[in-house]
């Protein structure tokens, strides 16, 4: 018997805001007659908010809470199960901030940060050093008085107010709520969201409106004023319950946990579930490893009993099933906690968890260009997944990060990775060893031209060359010289701006290198 619902009035208060993006093109229907087109890469803002009238989590021990955070689903009938109700609003259309001349400053962050290169877009600037393993460029938009803001979608995810205090003190718990919010949005909207998340320096994207939601009464504890007093048999509660703001009652479905499940593979063969644990399939989990092999990733699987049947169907997925012998399902699109607990990690020997997380932070597999070798005499299968060719990259700076990144905040930017001495961890050194002979943080040319610089001002370069510089005493000037010589942007110049003080760089946090248009292509250029 379904639990009755009760109307709950909400006046949410802002917590913090996240910015992510859609990974696939599609449509979103928020209940309106007209569906919203969602292109790949559409910016999506998530407002994490609090309200005392959202059902609170049940009482639970710290062990039960930690199991929920780790995605360890208990038995559905287990009264010790712990879950977090969340109310998710329908998505609403909005626009990202507009670019107004030089007020919209763009930093192009190039370098190593938690295993990935990143673009950092802020209205301020961040100083950096090539010897620290990263570079930041300033690209100034020339001659644009006002550009319309880009379209975006906004969702509100509202939790009970009692969770706020722990979120402020426990970073892991905050990450848990963030991942839960993203999963619930994905389940409600059928969108696939990136886990590369930005943190805008705003409490919320737009105003948090008052609203009324229909919530299952059984989610409220007996002592809660909103708990229904009628006698009923409470349904078994899954680990994490979704409370939809647009639906009067929850739809029946499978148990939902914090870990994000992968989409079903269109090429899955009959037989055991390809993502099932080895204990469920009764098959052996083979040992595997990966390493960089020139411009490719080399993934090696030890299969001494191999009868080959290999199918790859996703840029973040490798599936191997040998009937009666092996079952391997490497899904590097899942969350970190899911990867650490996965069967392909558990059966691959010591160090497999770190190895899997490092593979996740490499680029997507080139499925069409991938190749596999079955080395019969060696009893192993080797899969080659190509990486983008260096000629397609905008920039490559080779340097080794020497210290573990930590968070810092300046008056003009959101938190960024910083490098300071005496904070090194062993695992980070392992990462640097893997990165010793590869490009750290290339930026695609199309990203630079189509996203950050005005299209009419320059032709698309076809003769860009990757380049390398070595940290020297005057590395900024050397970098500017090398970048110009590489013909990265034919109509733009790289300038060393470390010693320049002017009003365009607030808080003395101007970039070390500025990318500016040539004098013939600009009407008004900020004084230097």
Question: Region 507-528: what's the mean pLDDT?
Answer: 38
Note whether residue 220 is domain-resident.
yes
pLDDT at 172 over 70: yes
Do 500 and 429 have their domain in common? yes
Do 59 and 118 have their domain in common? no
Q: Cα–Cα distances in Å, from 474 out to 113, 283, 513? A: 24, 59, 12
pLDDT at 55 over 80: yes
CATH number assigned to the domain comprising residue 287: 2.60.40.790
Note whether residue 36 is domain-resident.
yes
Kindly report which listed range (142-156, 182-196, 282-296) carries the lowest average pLDDT score.
142-156
Closest residue by Cα to residue 190 from 259, 95, 335, 91: 91
Do 122 and 165 have their domain in common? no
Do 13 and 156 have their domain in common? yes
Residues 172 and 69 sit within 8 Å (Cβ to Cβ)? yes
pLDDT at 11 over 60: yes
pLDDT at 13 over 70: yes
Range of the domain at 287: 278-387
Look up residue 178 and give its two tokens.
């963030």
| pLDDT per residue as tens digits for the range 192-207 | 888 888 888 888 888 8
CA dihedral 52, 58, 64, 70 (to 10 degrees): -50
Do 311 and 433 have their domain in common? no
* Residue that the structure tokens 């979608």 belong to: 153
Note whether residue 249 is domain-resident.
no
CA dihedral 411, 415, 416, 421 (to 10 degrees): 90
The pairing of strands 106-111 and 134-139 is antiparallel
pLDDT at 47 over 90: yes
Which tops the pLDDT comparison, 473 or 524?
Answer: 473
Helix (H) or strand (E) holding 21: strand 13-21
pLDDT at 464 over 70: no
pLDDT at 49 over 90: yes
The pairing of strands 317-322 and 326-331 is antiparallel
| pLDDT per residue as tens digits for the range 409-443 | 333 333 333 333 323 222 222 223 333 333 223 33
Q: Which residues pair with 153 in a beta bridge?
A: 44, 93
Residues 259 and 253 sit within 8 Å (Cβ to Cβ)? no
Note whether residue 268 is domain-resident.
no
* Residue that the structure tokens 């039960």 belong to: 64
Asked which of 387, 422, 451 is the last residue of a domain, the reply is: 387
Do 351 and 298 have their domain in common? yes
Around Cβ 424, how many Cβ atoms within 10 Å? 15
Q: Find all residues with CB under 8 Å of 480, minimum gap 6, and list them.
A: 494, 495, 496, 513
Note whether residue 432 is domain-resident.
yes
Q: How confident is the model at residue 377 (pLDDT cuts 50, 70, 90)?
A: confident
Residues 278 and 346 sit within 8 Å (Cβ to Cβ)? yes
End-to-end CA gap in the chain: 72
Task: Look over the chain and give the mean of its residue pLDDT values, rounded to a whole number.
Answer: 59
Note whether residue 89 is domain-resident.
yes
pLDDT at 511 over 50: no
Name the burial class of residue 188, with classes exposed (0-12), middle (13-18) and buried (19+) by CB atoms within 10 angstroms of its CB.
buried
Do 376 and 512 have their domain in common? no
Which tops the pLDDT comparison, 466 or 168?
Answer: 168
pLDDT at position 452 is: 38
Which tops the pLDDT comparison, 505 or 353?
Answer: 353
Which residues in 53-90 are b (16+ Cβ under 10 Å) and which e? bbbbbbebeeebbebbbbbebbeeeeeebbbbbbbbbb
Do 128 and 81 have their domain in common? no
Q: How confident is the model at residue 485 (pLDDT cuts 50, 70, 90)?
A: low
Question: Region 203-226: what's the mean pLDDT?
Answer: 81
Closest residue by Cα to residue 248 from 4, 524, 45, 499: 4
Do 76 and 45 have their domain in common? yes
Beta strand ranges found along 97-147 (DSSP E): 106-111, 134-139
Residues 512 and 496 sit within 8 Å (Cβ to Cβ)? yes
pLDDT at position 473 is: 52
* Residue that the structure tokens 């083979």 belong to: 286
- Which range, 289-298, 389-398, 465-474, has the best average confidence (pLDDT)? 289-298
pLDDT at 285 over 60: yes
Using a cut of 0.75, tell me whether the model's pTM lies above it.
no
pLDDT at position 15 is: 92
Do 215 and 325 have their domain in common? no
From CA 42, how far away is CA 25, in angstroms rounded?
A: 9
- Which range, 223-232, 290-299, 476-485, has the best average confidence (pLDDT)? 290-299
Q: Cα–Cα distances in Å, from 328 out to 51, 286, 347, 447? A: 44, 7, 10, 35
* Residue that the structure tokens 């490092």 belong to: 358
Q: How many domains does the chain have?
A: 3
Asked which of 356, 372, 387 is the last residue of a domain, the reply is: 387
Q: How confident is the model at residue 5 (pLDDT cuts 50, 70, 90)?
A: confident
Residues 284 and 277 sit within 8 Å (Cβ to Cβ)? no
Helix (H) or strand (E) holding 36: strand 36-38
Around Cβ 512, how many Cβ atoms within 10 Å? 22
Note whether residue 202 is domain-resident.
yes
From CA 163, how far away is CA 151, in angstroms rounded?
A: 31
Note whether residue 111 is domain-resident.
yes
From CA 166, how far away is CA 177, in angstroms rounded?
A: 11
Do 83 and 181 have their domain in common? yes
| pLDDT per residue as tens digits for the range 108-153 | 333 323 222 222 222 222 223 333 333 333 333 333 222 345 788 9
pLDDT at position 361 is: 57
Which tops the pLDDT comparison, 304 or 405?
Answer: 304
Do 32 and 165 have their domain in common? yes
Asked which of 387, 422, 455 is the last residue of a domain, the reply is: 387
């Amino acid at each position: 018997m379904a639990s009755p619902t009760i109307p709950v009035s909400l006046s949410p208060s802002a917590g913090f805001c996240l910015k992510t993006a859609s990974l696939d093109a599609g449509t979103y229907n928020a209940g309106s007659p007209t569906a919203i087109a969602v292109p790949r890469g559409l910016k999506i803002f998530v407002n994490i908010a609090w309200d005392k009238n959202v059902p609170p989590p049940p009482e639970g021990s710290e062990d039960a809470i930690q199991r929920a955070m780790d995605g360890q689903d208990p038995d559905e009938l287990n009264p010790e199960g712990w879950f977090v109700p969340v109310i998710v609003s329908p998505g609403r259309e909005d626009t990202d901030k507009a670019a107004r001349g030089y007020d919209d400053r763009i930093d192009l962050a190039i370098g190593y940060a938690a295993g990935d290169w990143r673009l950092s877009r802020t209205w301020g600037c961040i100083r950096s050093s090539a010897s620290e393993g990263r570079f930041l460029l300033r690209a100034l938009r020339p001659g644009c008085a006002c550009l319309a803001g880009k379209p975006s979608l906004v969702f509100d995810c509202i939790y009970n107010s009692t969770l706020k205090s722990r979120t402020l003190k426990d970073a892991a718990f905050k990450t848990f709520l963030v991942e839960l919010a993203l999963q619930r949005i994905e389940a409600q909207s059928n969108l696939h969201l990136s886990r590369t998340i930005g943190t805008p320096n705003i409490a919320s994207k737009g105003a948090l409106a008052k609203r009324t939601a229909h919530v299952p009464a059984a989610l409220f504890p007996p002592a809660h004023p909103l708990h229904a007093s009628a006698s009923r048999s409470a349904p078994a509660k899954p680990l994490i319950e979704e409370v939809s703001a647009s639906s009067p009652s929850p739809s029946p479905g499978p148990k939902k946990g914090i870990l994000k499940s992968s989409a079903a593979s269109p090429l899955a063969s009959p037989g055991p579930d390809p993502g099932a644990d080895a204990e469920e399939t009764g098959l052996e989990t083979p040992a595997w490893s990966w390493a960089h092999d020139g411009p490719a990733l080399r993934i090696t699987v030890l299969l001494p009993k191999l009868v080959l049947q290999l199918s790859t169907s996703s840029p973040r997925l490798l599936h191997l099933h040998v009937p009666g012998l092996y079952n391997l399902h490497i899904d590097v699109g899942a969350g970190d906690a899911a990867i650490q607990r996965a069967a392909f990690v558990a059966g691959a020997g010591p160090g497999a968890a770190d190895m899997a997380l490092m593979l996740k932070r490499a680029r997507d597999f080139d499925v069409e260009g991938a190749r596999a070798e079955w080395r019969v005499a060696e009893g192993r299968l080797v899969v080659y997944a190509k990486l983008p060719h260096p000629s397609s990259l905008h920039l490559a700076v080779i340097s080794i990060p020497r210290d573990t990144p930590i968070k810092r905040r300046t008056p003009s930017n959101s938190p960024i990775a910083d490098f300071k001495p005496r904070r090194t961890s062993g695992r980070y050194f392992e990462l640097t060893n893997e990165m010793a002979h590869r490009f750290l943080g290339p930026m695609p040319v199309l990203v630079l031209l189509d996203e950050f610089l005005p299209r009419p001002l320059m032709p698309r370069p076809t003769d860009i060359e990757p380049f390398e510089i070595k940290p020297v005493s005057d590395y900024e000037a050397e970098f500017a010289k090398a970048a110009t010589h590489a013909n990265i942007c034919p109509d733009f110049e790289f300038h060393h701006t470390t010693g320049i003080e002017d009003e365009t760089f607030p808080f003395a946090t101007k970039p070390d290198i500025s990318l500016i248009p040539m004098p013939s292509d600009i009407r008004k250029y900020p004084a230097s």
